[in-house]
Amino acid sequence: MKNITIVGGGLVGSLLAVLMAKRGHKVDVYERRSDPRTAEQYAGRSINLVVSHRGWTALRAAGIDERIREITVPVYARMTHDPQGKTNRLPYSIENKAIYSVSRGELNNRLLSEAERMPGVTLHFGYRCDDVDLDKASCTFARKGEEPKTVKADVVLACDGAFSAVRAKMQYGRFNYSQEYIEHDYKEIAFPAGPEGNPLMDPQCLHIWPRRYYMLMGLANQDGGFTGTLFMPHNAGPEAPDAGFDKVRTEAEADHFLKTHFPDAYAIIPDMTQQYMRHPQSTLVIVRCSPWTHGSTAALFGDAAHAIVPFYGEGMNAGYEDCKVLNDLLDEHGDDNWGAVLHAYDKHRVANGHAIADLSLRNFTEMRDLVAAPRFILRKKIEGHIQAKHPDQWLPLYTQVKFTDIPYVDALREGQRHDRIMEEILAMPGIETKWESEEVERKALELLKKA
Ligand SMILES: Cc1cc2nc3c(=O)[nH]c(=O)nc-3n(C[C@H](O)[C@H](O)[C@H](O)COP(=O)(O)OP(=O)(O)OC[C@H]3O[C@@H](n4cnc5c(N)ncnc54)[C@H](O)[C@@H]3O)c2cc1C
């Protein structure tokens, strides 16, 4: 049994606490915020997010997947909304698989309660980690109105998010680090439920209003409403001079912009403009770093290790996979051999963290731009067709990322190979009419052997 300090009781820290306590370790979770279960309103970033295969695998390992499933809404397809409000439904998988929408606050609350029920777990709220002695696995926490307190453990597991204090301490050593803000910021806009609590759009779809340089998306909540997120450049560029948070500032500008570009959403959100004016504008940051570990005494998990843009809906899922990998490595090497475990964790995970950062950026282009393009829709149809006929040879990239445990690095490589193949297929004369033909299928198989 080890004494483990987990810094951060967010989505990843709370799950990791359950997993480590299940193994018989003594776990102390220190969270900067007050207990969100007693706070009036959750003040996190995005209000809902998507749990997919990798997340479920980790939740199952912790024995709590079924209790979490109760609070989710399955989502089977994307639904695009064009500027005239015309919709198009694109399933995520030919096998009717779903990803699951969940309230971030509710998920965190449930996980904290699950952690608290485990013998050996103590949650400490209102404690901000200000300093870490990585060699000694000791952390110093500040609490309002109290003297700072230093806590010594055997291992420190850092789940303290994109601006991790533990990671900052690692930067004093031999450590690679990069941080990049993307051009787009975001704002949340809530879609209300109908008068009977009924959803006003199909709740089993992720709704996207792709507008090339900006987009709105909407994910269902259990109460019949949707959480919308508007992604738009911080500063408008020459390609879309009216679309930038710097250009849409006054109530009149916001009203005109939202009504013009998202008319069908505007029609069902009576206070869309007021929400735009009221809600904060948040930034999106990508953090890459290595190593993720310090000897046998400290390691990074979740956003502390890999903050990524949210366009694959994988940030938390990747963080959950970090936890599952650690758990598997403890099975393999034993709970007393943290040096070997953390060495293997670093070796296994860092490249995958970088790969999901790349994949997430790549999916941004797909969501805001390609998803509405006829060529992209045709590509999806052809890929689905080849997959249905030759499932052992063609697994679309999205399927690999969202519905399997295939390492992100391998998925990225395979996705790049698919791009090369599909470029040739889409260049075949008359492809629009013959995409289901044997000729196209033969060509795909031929290219698969070569590419
Ligand atoms: C708009 C948006 C949509 C997203 N959608 C999805 C999605 O659909 N699916 C998905 O998988 N991911 C999604 N993500 C990503 C997901 O939110 C993150 O990957 C996830 O929250 C990471 O969890 P975490 O526990 O590592 O970090 P966080 O959720 O940031 O939690 C860190 C915790 O540590 C605490 N903390 C920070 N510093 C300290 C300190 N010094 N001392 C003590 N405590 C500290 C914080 O208060 C917080 O509770 C989305 C992100 C955004 C921005």
Q: What DSSP string runs through 310-323?
A: GGGS-HHHHHHHHH
Residue 403 CA, ligand 1 centroid: distance in Å: 22
94 in a structural domain: no
Residue 12 shares a structural domain with residue 159: yes
Q: What pLDDT does 366 receive?
A: 78
Number of domains into which the chain is organized: 3
Within this chain, do residues 349 and 212 fall inside the same structural domain, yes or no?
no
Ligand 1 pocket test, candidate residues 18, 19, 49, 361, most atoms within 8 A of CB: 49
Residue where a domain terminates, one of 237, 259, 278: 278
Contact between residue 395 and residue 411 where contact means Cβ atoms under 8 Å apart: no
Shared domain for 212 and 291, answered yes or no, is: no
- Same domain for 171 and 250: no
The one-digit pLDDT tens for each residue of the chain (451 residues) are 999 999 999 999 999 999 999 999 999 999 999 999 997 654 444 579 999 999 999 999 999 999 999 999 999 999 999 999 999 998 998 889 999 999 999 999 999 999 999 999 999 999 999 999 999 999 999 999 999 999 999 999 999 999 999 999 999 989 999 999 999 999 999 999 999 999 999 999 999 999 989 999 999 998 899 999 999 999 999 989 999 999 999 999 999 999 999 999 999 999 999 999 999 999 999 999 999 999 999 999 999 999 999 999 999 999 999 999 999 999 999 999 999 999 999 999 999 999 999 999 998 887 776 666 888 889 989 998 999 999 999 999 999 999 999 999 999 999 999 999 999 999 999 999 999 999 999 999 999 988 7
338, 390: one domain:
no
User: Does residue 380 fall inside a structural domain?
Assistant: yes
Asked if 35 and 129 sit in the same domain, the reply is yes
- 77 lies in some domain: no
Q: Which atom of ligand 1 is nearest to the CA of 162?
A: 30
In a domain, 366, yes or no: no
User: CA–CA separation, 311 vs 208, rounded Å?
Assistant: 12
List all residues whose CB is within 6 A of at least one atom of ligand 1: 7-13, 30-33, 45-46, 49-50, 128-129, 159-161, 165, 186, 229, 302-304, 310, 313-317, 319
Residue 285 CA to ligand 1 centre (angstroms): 12
Burial class (CB in 10 A: 0-12, 13-18, 19+), 237: exposed
Say which CATH number the domain at 345 has. 3.50.50.60
Q: For 294, list phi and psi in degrees, rounded to 5.
A: -130, 100
Q: Do 110 and 45 share a structural domain?
A: yes
Parent domain of 410: 373-450
What tokens appear for 306 in the block? 């890999």
Same domain (yes/no): 338, 192: no
Considering the domain architecture, whether residues 168 and 188 belong to the same structural domain is answered as no
Q: How far apart are CA 345 and CA 24, in angstroms?
A: 20
Q: How far is the CA of 303 from the centre of ligand 1 (A)?
A: 6
Boundary of a domain, candidates 307, 333, 361? 361
Cα 161 to ligand 1 centroid, rounded to whole Å: 5
Ligand 1 midpoint to CA 11 (Å): 6
Q: Which two tokens stand for residue 291?
A: 């190593």
267 and 292 in a common domain: no
Phi, psi dihedrals of residue 216, rounded to the nearest 5°: -115, 140
Q: Is 266 part of a structural domain of the chain?
A: yes
- Asked if 57 and 105 sit in the same domain, the reply is yes
Whether residue 150 is contained in a domain is answered as yes
In a domain, residue 169? The reply is yes
Pair 105, 52 in one domain: yes
Looking at residue 43, its pLDDT comes to 45
**Relative orientation angle of helices 408-426 and 438-450, to the nearest 10 degrees:** 130
In a domain, 391, yes or no: yes
Of 314, 330, 361, the position where a domain reaches its end is: 361
